[in-house]
Every structure is written in C-alpha cells, then in structure tokens.
C-alpha cells in the first residue's frame, strides 16, 4: 500500500492552479501562431498577436493570462492501493485551491452555491474522483471560466 501525505496533495494542487492560469499549453500557443500566419483579417491578426504576447507575459512574469480565473475544477484518479495520510483528501484539495489562488494572485470569484456570497478563496472546488487500479495518484487542475 502506497502512502501519500495530504501535504503533498496541497502543494501539488496549489502549483497546478497557478500553472493552469499562467502557462498556456504549447499546442494552443502553436495553433495561435499558425493562425496568425494565415489569417487575412487585420483585426483578427491583431487579436491573435495580442493572445500570443499575453501568453508570453503570463509565462515570464507568472501572472494570470486572464483576470477571470474561473472556478477550480479538479480531476483525481486515485489507485485502489493508495492510502492518503495526514488528513482528508477533499480537505487537502480545497486547501491547495486556497493556497494557489492566494499565492498566485488569482482572482477569487467563486460564490457559495446557496447564499451567492463570494467565498473569498475560490472554494469550494468542483472535485471529480475516479478510483482506479494500482498505487498511483493523478491530479489534474482546470479552471472553468
């Protein structure tokens, strides 16, 4: 049985949300660049150029690509042979979201589902968990803007 401490989950989730908001995937960046080369509309070329420039600024300065950092969505694949120790997995994920949004200076726009009052830390995250064979733990963070 593999043990994973919740501190590692918190650290990982925090980092993943900062990365999700500051690092544009290479495939998307390359698609923007290809479109920039073939686009005929001057307005569209200008917008594509700004998207490419904005992605570079976000990456280099570690600032969000967009002010709307969206809702925190987490996908977890946890092996049936993994034992999370030191706390509760869901609490660790929520704390990782809190830390990532605070430390990454990400806009906190989530509201409580019943009161519609801003939670101030972008929780609760939307968490999807799949139990899979093995002793692996895979966490994917997405911002749902």
CA distance linking residue 20 with residue 78, whole number of Å = 21
CA distance linking residue 1 with residue 31, whole number of Å = 43
Beta-bridge partner residues of 138: 77
- Does the pLDDT at position 145 exceed 70? no
- Does the pLDDT at position 144 exceed 80? no
pLDDT at 93: 98
Asked if residue 127 lies in contact with residue 74, where contact means CB atoms within 8 angstroms, the answer is: yes
pLDDT tens readout for residues 103-140: 988 889 888 889 999 999 999 999 999 999 999 999 99
CA distance linking residue 60 with residue 110, whole number of Å = 27
The mean per-residue pLDDT over the stretch 19-42 comes to 93
State both tokens at 37.
Answer: 């080369």
The mean per-residue pLDDT over the stretch 68-74 comes to 88
Instruction: Assign 66 a pLDDT band (cuts: 50, 70, 90).
Output: confident
The mean per-residue pLDDT over the stretch 64-70 comes to 84
Residue ranges covered by each domain of the chain:
2-19+66-144, 25-64
- Does the pLDDT at position 51 exceed 70? yes
Beta-bridge partner residues of 71: 144
More confident residue, 69 or 91: 91
pLDDT tens readout for residues 20-29: 999 999 999 9
pLDDT at 112: 86
């Amino acid at each position: 049985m593999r043990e994973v401490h919740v501190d590692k989950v918190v650290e990982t989730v925090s980092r993943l949300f900062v990365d999700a908001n500051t690092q544009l995937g290479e495939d998307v960046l390359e698609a923007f660049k290809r479109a920039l080369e073939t686009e005929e509309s001057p307005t569209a070329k200008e917008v594509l150029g700004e998207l490419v420039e904005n992605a570079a600024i976000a990456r280099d300065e570690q600032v969000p690509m967009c002010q709307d950092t969206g809702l925190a969505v987490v996908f977890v694949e946890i092996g049936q042979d993994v034992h999370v120790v030191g706390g509760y997995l869901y609490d660790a994920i929520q704390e990782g979201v809190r830390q990532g949004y605070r430390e990454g200076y990400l806009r906190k726009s989530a509201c409580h589902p019943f009161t519609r009052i801003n939670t101030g830390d972008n929780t609760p995250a939307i968490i999807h968990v799949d139990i899979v064979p093995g002793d692996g733990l895979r966490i994917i963070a997405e911002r749902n803007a």
